[in-house]
A and B are shown apart, each in its own frame.
Chain A
Amino acid sequence: MTLAIQLTVKRGAFTLELNHSLPLHGVTALFGRSGCGKTTLLRAIAGLDRHAKAQIRCNDVVWQQGNHFMPVHQRRIGMVFQHSSLLPHLTVLQNLLYGFKRRLKHSAVQLEPAQVISLLELESLLQLQPEQLSGGQRQRIALGRALLSQPELLLLDEPLASLDQQSRNEILSFLQRVANQTGIPMLLVSHQLDDVVKLADQLVLMQHGRIISQGPLPQQLLQPELAVISAMSLLYAQSHGCHNHLLQLSIGKQQLQLPAPLSNTGTQTAYRLRIQARDVALSLTPLTDSSVSNQLQVSISGFNNAPHPAETLVQLNLEGQPLQALLTKQSVERLGLQVGQQVYAQIKAVALD
């Protein structure tokens, strides 16, 4: 799916100006600081706000152009809002079916209520009223309700922002499940890089009302604007099962072993590895007398400024995937590191998704 957007919004001193084509598949994060125009863009895509200077096309369907404006209820979108959006006069089940019943007439059913209810584990909540639910449960139901409206695109407007950490993680894993099992493209607005890195495949970076870059998440993480917030890398690895509670992973020809997640069911074959740049050390030769057992052969592809003046971000190429290491400038000089050089990366900590 491709969204072609031309949009100009002026509001006081703030100007949003875009002319972009966003290829959407999997989860695309719309990332930027508060006030950069993410939500404005999302609401324009949904049709919740009508701006005079806007042209929006979804694949071949024109959503807005000149005087033509397709109203929200005719766009095939599902939306999850930041705050609880359940209709308070309806039960959980009635909320879930609100969109399903209305879209039923116009489109083939791809997702049945029973499927969504089991996917999001909503069985025990169906007869409750919204006010009896926790924040996390409400967002889970809002997500299910959006899915049941048979959307071609899911728009998520900071769906985790009003939740506590535990509920955040819960909803994140449900969102992962939805992304993997339904294949519906998602556009996720967020200003939390941590959430984005757990979930997104692609990232659209916004700043001061403009899109300054877009592309696959691992490459986007090298952008200086993101490295300032949190220098980290995202690697995709294949799993080959467990041995002595250690997950056997491979990236290209190289092997890693990591403590298996306790909830591991052994069915997951692809993992996302989040690695902080400060948890990566470099050596010129493989270390044999170190406790760090995950040691990967990489080549240096570049250097970037780090937030701290004494440090440098070293960009590495690991079997075609980017990896970053945070070193002091002193270490870089002492080892004589240069672009193109083969080195060994010791990885001290990994978060698995």
Chain B
Amino acid sequence: MMPELFVALSPQDWQAIRLTLKLCLYTTAILLLLATPLAWWLALRQSKLRTAIQAIVALPLVLPPTVLGFYLLLLLGPHGAIGSTLERLGVSHLAFSFSGILIGSVIYSLPFAVQPLLESFRRMGAGPLEVAATLGAGKLDQLFSVVLPLCRGGFIVAATLTFAHTLGEFGVILMLGGSIPGETQVLSVLIYDHTEAMNYAQAHQLSLGLLISAFVVLFIVYGLNRRFEREAVL
């Protein structure tokens, strides 16, 4: 029998929704800043390091999230290289904290931000930038007057994919953050907790919500992709 839907969302549910949105927004913002120069370097520079970097960027695609979460826990936890350094500096270590799962999500979603940007930078090529430079545009000017408008599609797709992928993150967060309400208990984790506690109605409600929003986001991404491909053909 299907569990009944539309029970009232508990304060805990609302807290998880807010936390999840916050994690998604922060991750997306940070990744756009990080992935843009990285994808740029991968697309336009010839370097021996490139293959290695490309493989590292793609790792989160193939690794089980538990592996990633496990190593991050080792690194960021109280006895890890980064965690213990932070403790010595009088700052708390990062395991079981929002900052910790934010770092985890940034790494976990990296390929989803880099790939679409890389693709659109490659499609643009160095040509338009050289043209702009010969016409008197400096680097920053080129970024705003050429790269952003020409790679608009890549940026939008990168942002939405990152957002959607972070929305569905589970393994890394569970390993690294546990399930602390308001700190690390995001929707996917809460659904797991509800299910464990046999609260099927609440689990179903949140699951359906995630399912629908994930579908909507992907629908938008593919729609945009089609539109930008058409533009590129023209």
Contacts and interface: CB of A to CB of B under 8 A. Distances in A.
**A and B: real partners?**
yes
Interface of A: 46-48, 71-74, 77-79, 81, 83, 85, 87-89, 98-99, 102-103, 106, 131, 145-146, 149
Nearest to A106: B136
A79 B134 CA distance: 6
B137 interface: yes
A87 B128 contact: yes
B130 interface: yes
B133 A72 contact: yes
B212 interface: no
- In this complex, the member of B131, B133, B137, B141 whose beta carbon has the largest number of chain A beta carbons within 10 angstroms is B131
Contact of B135 (A47, A48, A149): A149
Contacts of A87: 128, 131-132, 146, 150
A46 B130 CA distance: 10
B127 A85 contact: yes
Contacts, number: 61
Nearest to B232: A88
Contacts of B234: 131
B153 to A, nearest CB: 11
Interface of B: 127-128, 130-138, 141, 145-146, 149-150, 234
A146 B134 contact: yes
B51 to A, nearest CB: 21
A172 B213 CA distance: 58
A131 B234 CA distance: 7
B133 A71 contact: yes
Chain A interface mostly helix, strand, loop or mixed? mixed
A72 B146 contact: no
A73 B138 contact: yes
Contacts of A72: 130, 133-134
- In this complex, the member of B130, B131, B135, B150 whose beta carbon has the largest number of chain A beta carbons within 10 angstroms is B135
B223 to A, nearest CB: 20
B136 A48 contact: no
A85 B130 CA distance: 9
B141 A77 contact: no
Nearest to A81: B131
Given A88-B150, A89-B149, A131-B234, A102 B137 contact: yes
Contacts of A48: 130, 133-134
B136 A103 contact: yes
A87 B234 CA distance: 13
A134 B149 CA distance: 23
A260 to B, nearest CB: 40
B134 A78 contact: yes
A78 B135 CA distance: 7
27 contacts: A48-B130, A72-B133, A73-B132, A73-B135, A73-B136, A74-B136, A77-B134, A78-B135, A79-B131, A85-B128, A85-B131, A87-B128, A87-B132, A88-B128, A88-B150, A89-B149, A98-B132, A98-B135, A99-B134, A99-B136, A102-B136, A103-B135, A131-B234, A146-B135, A149-B134, A149-B135, A149-B136
